Amino acid sequence: MNIGSLWQILLLMLSSCLPYAVESRGGEKNILSSSSTGLANLTYVRTGKRLLEAQHEKKIDLAKGYLTNNDLENALKDFTQRCGNISRIYSIGKSVKGVPLWVIEISDKPGEEEAEPAFKYIGNVHGDEPVGRELLVRLANWICDNYPEDPLAAFIVDKVHLHILPSMNPDGFSLRKRGNANDIDLNRDFPDQFFPVNNEMSGRQPETRAIMNWLRKIQFTASASLHGGALVANYPWDGTEDKRRYYFPCPDDGAFHFLASVYSHSHHNMSLSKEFEGGVTNGAAWYPIYGGMQDWNYIHAGCFELTLEVSDNKWPPANELPTIWEYNKKSMLNLIASVAKTGIHGRIFSAASGRPLPGYIMIKGINYTVKAGRTFADYHRLLAPLENYEVMATMTGYKSKTTTIKLEKEAMGVDFILDPEVPNGENQLESECDCTCTTSKSGLQVMGSLWTTHMEAYFLVVVVLGFVCILLCRRRARFSFLRHRQQGGPKRPAVA
């Protein structure tokens, strides 16, 4: 028996007797501080052996009534059979032991790109925190069962692409431990903004790599990972530069506090927490961690990620799971919906061609850039409501545009139409517009030989031709622009 397993027993014991178990997101540091009374160490010294035996017995039933990894795989496959027209299943990779990391996507057009925000839920990051994976299966089933009658289910399916990874750590789950099969804590395995926790891609765990590759393919607007051992919605930053514990706000502190509050206030009693004001916390104010998935999402994947602690008890008896689901149901649904129901949304277009421009959205005073989608140039900028914002759209080769808006509680739509930087956009017009303007160049060359004899007449013809061409181009651009905009859903005010 090694120190590691002793600690695990200790932690498990703590998680069942403390009001909240602090080890869920982080661990060591906080456990030490919570055992600063000496109680934990003392308890272990005195009753270590007895505990171990008791734990062994408990271990046998720990997951009784929970879905096994096989059950989970079958549940997901059944789900896509039953709800085939609004879902698909895909794998983002495999665990150390070769278990596929299955994701279900729920949308009215699963697998298709749309000018809509995407949201992801990840459960079971820590193998010994299985409540999340159970909740996520229930969430998927609830949406399927209530679509399209329930307005919230309909909204989510129609307006959002929801991706659910119920278990990021199936090996840890089957081993009933926090880390993966290599004993690595996956929520410490991501590149960190301050400390090189593990900056070797090759040295990273397969589960971590799977997530990182996934986020290269899909642009998520927001997400949450589900943990157990406490009851709180945690938001960035998770770590401080000097490793000390204090409130360390990220540039989007307002938006994050808002999103975390959407969760806690929709929950049965998370917002009533005595430990955390409003049931939310800045990660570093709780305890700093490094190499976590949350901060990495925000910094590297343009995704606003929360870390949700959904149950004080890491292994509640399975018969309590339906109640825990009821407690979290509205929160989980409202958080997904908030990526389309709040914030600023729109698309960026070229004034010259009418085509979508995959540019950038910036907010004055917030040092963070949101990228528009590659295909539709749709952007989804989450922000705290009830404030004024100066919104700027940029794209290389185009003049930036800025507009000031007052964001209400509901989402707001703002499209941007950017002018090319080149004056009158001659080159832009030719290259981006399918019209026949390009022939005028060669036309001029042909005319060159006749230049001397009928100079004036040809000059006039060329000028008139050019003029007609530009007119045609403009009309086509406008037309194509209208057509593009119509694909973008409801009409929105445009900053032209």
Ligand X SMILES: *[C@@H]1O[C@H](CO)[C@@H](O)[C@H](O)[C@H]1NC(C)=O
Q: Which residues are catalytic?
A: 309
* Among 126-134, 278-286, 322-330, 381-389, the segment contacting Zn ion (CB under 5 A): 126-134
Binding to Zn ion in span 215-254, by CB under 5 A: 227
- Contact (CB, 8 A) for 313 and 380: no
71 to 100, contacts with Zn ion by CB under 5 A? Answer: none
Nearest approach, Cβ of 240 to Zn ion (angstroms)? 20
Listed in sequence order, the residues at least 6 apart from 8 whose beta carbon sits closer than 8 Å to its beta carbon are 128, 177, 178
Q: Which stretch binds ligand X (CB under 6 A): 266-274, 345-353, 389-397, 457-465?
A: 266-274
Measured distance CA(69)–CA(73) in Å, rounded: 6
Is residue 129 a contact point for Zn ion (CB under 5 A)? yes
Asked if 208 interacts with ligand X (CB under 6 A), we say: no
Q: Which does 24 bind (CB under 5 to 8 A by kind): Zn ion, ligand X, none?
A: Zn ion
CA dist 182 to 169, 177, 440, Å?
A: 11, 11, 66
Q: Which one, 207 or 415, has the nearer CB to Zn ion? A: 207
Number of residues that bind ligand X (CB under 6 A): 11
3-state secondary structure the chain: CCHHHHHHHHHHHHHHHCCCCCCCCCCHHHHHHHCCCCHHHHHHHHHHHHHHHHHHHHHHHHCCCCCCHHHHHHHHHHHHHHCHHHEEEEEEEECCCCCEEEEEEECCCCCCCCCCCEEEEECCCCCCCCHHHHHHHHHHHHHHHHCCCCHHHHHHHHHCEEEEECCCCHHHHHHCCCCCCCCCCHHHCCCCCCCCCCCCCCCCCHHHHHHHHHHHHCCCCEEEEEECCEEEEEECCCCCCCCCCCCCCCCCHHHHHHHHHHHHHHCCCHHHCCCCHHHEEEHHHHCCCCCCHHHHHHHHCCCEEEEEEEECCCCCCHHHHHHHHHHHHHHHHHHHHHHHHCCEEEEEEECCCCCECCCEEEECCEEEEEECCCCCCEEEECCCCCEEEEEEEECCCECCEEEEEEECCCCEECEEEECECCHHHHHHHHHHCCCHHHHHHHHHHHHHCCCCCCHHHHHHHHHHHHHHHHHHHHHHHHHHHHHHHHHCCCCCCEEC
Among residues 81, 199, 213, 269, the one that binds ligand X under rule CB under 6 A: 269
What is the nearest approach in angstroms of ligand X to the Cβ of residue 96?
29
* Min separation Cβ 56 and ligand X, Å: 22
Q: Cβ neighbours of residue 496 under 8 Å, at least 6 residues apart?
A: 351, 417
| Residue range at the interface with Zn ion (CB under 5 A); choices 81-89, 124-132, 198-206, 214-222 | 124-132
Q: Are 80 and 89 in contact (CB under 8 A)?
A: yes
HSE of 254, CA atoms in CB hemisphere, 13 A: 15
Cβ(481)–Cβ(345) below 8 Å: no
Alpha-carbon span 169 to 183, nearest angstrom: 11
Binding-site partner at residue 367 among ligand X, Zn ion, none, CB < 5 to 8 Å by type: ligand X
Stretch that binds ligand X, among 258-266, 268-276, 288-296, 453-461 (CB under 6 A): 268-276
**Residue 273 touches ligand X, criterion: CB under 6 A:** yes
In whole angstroms, how close is the CB of 274 to ligand X at the nearest point? Answer: 6
- Using CB under 5 A, pick the residue from 120, 126, 267, 484 that binds Zn ion: 126
3 contact, one of ligand X, Zn ion, none, CB 5-8 Å limit per kind: none
CA dihedral 52, 55, 59, 63 (to 10 degrees): -150
By CB under 6 A, the residues from 216 to 245 that bind ligand X are 231
| 148 near ligand X (CB under 6 A) | yes
Asked whether position 33 contacts ligand X by CB under 6 A, the answer is no
- Partner whose footprint covers residue 85, from Zn ion, ligand X, none (CB < 5 to 8 Å by kind): ligand X
Name the binder of 269 from ligand X, Zn ion, none, CB < 5-8 A by kind.
Answer: ligand X
Give the one entry of ligand X, Zn ion, none that residue 108 binds, where binding means its C-beta sits below a cut-off of 5 to 8 angstroms depending on kind. Answer: ligand X
Q: Which does 273 bind (CB under 5 to 8 A by kind): Zn ion, ligand X, none?
A: ligand X
Q: With CB under 5 A as the contact rule, which of the stretches 120-128, 293-301, 371-379, 406-414 interacts with Zn ion? A: 120-128
The single residue among 2, 202, 319, 367 that binds ligand X, judged by CB under 6 A, is 367
Q: Residues 82-121: x/- map of binding to ligand X (CB under 6 A)? A: ---xx---------------------x-------------
272 binds ligand X (CB under 6 A): yes
Residue number, 207 or 309, with CB nearest to ligand X: 309
The verdict on 350 binding ligand X (CB under 6 A) reads no
State the binding partner of 215 from ligand X, Zn ion, none, CB within 5 to 8 A by kind.
Answer: none
Binding segment for Zn ion (CB under 5 A), chosen from 106-114, 122-130, 253-261, 449-457, is 122-130
Binding of Zn ion by 24 (CB under 5 A): yes
- 41 binds ligand X per the rule CB under 6 A: yes
Q: Which stretch binds ligand X (CB under 6 A): 21-29, 129-137, 269-277, 480-488?
A: 269-277
From ligand X, Zn ion, none, interface partner of 129 (C-beta below 5 to 8 A by class): Zn ion
In the complex, the residues that contact Zn ion under the rule CB under 5 A are 24, 126, 129, 227
Interacting residues with ligand X (CB under 6 A): 41, 45, 85-86, 108, 148, 231, 269, 272-273, 367
